[in-house]
Copies of this chain bind each other. A is one copy, B any other.
């Protein structure tokens, strides 16, 4: 099994979900993150004092998948979150040793 982690633009969540659902993924986990990379930040001003905000809001999307599906899912995520501009983010996959569905205690691929 694989865990696919995507750090992408917050406004792309909807597109990713639609893509994954169309592909047949049953579940995913989302959380908030901030990222620093090639994308330039913006400036905030408070009483004339400027702040250069370069940690920008991102979301982290995580999907557990079988080894076979992992690469397809990677492609779905990339194609639905790509805009071609800096700040699009990174996606990576890692091996998962074991997975369990808490409700039933099923393990391995059955748990996904």
Q: Given that A29-B33, A35-B29, A38-B27 are known contacts, is A91 also in contact with B82, CB under 8 Å in the complex? A: no
Contacts of A23 in B (CB 8 A): none
Q: Given that A74-B98, A78-B105, A82-B103 are known contacts, is A17 also in contact with B30, CB under 8 Å in the complex? A: no
Contact assessment for A30 and B55 in the assembled complex, using a CB-CB cutoff below 8 Å: yes
**Chain A count of residues within 8 A CB distance of the other chain:** 52
Contact assessment for B99 and A85 in the assembled complex, using a CB-CB cutoff below 8 Å: no
Q: Given that A82-B105, A93-B98 are known contacts, is A36 also in contact with B31, CB under 8 Å in the complex? A: no
Does chain B have a CB within 8 A of A53?
no
Contacts of A27 in B (CB 8 A): 35-38, 90
4 smallest CB-CB distances across A and B, nearest first, come from A27-B37, A88-B102, A88-B103, A92-B99
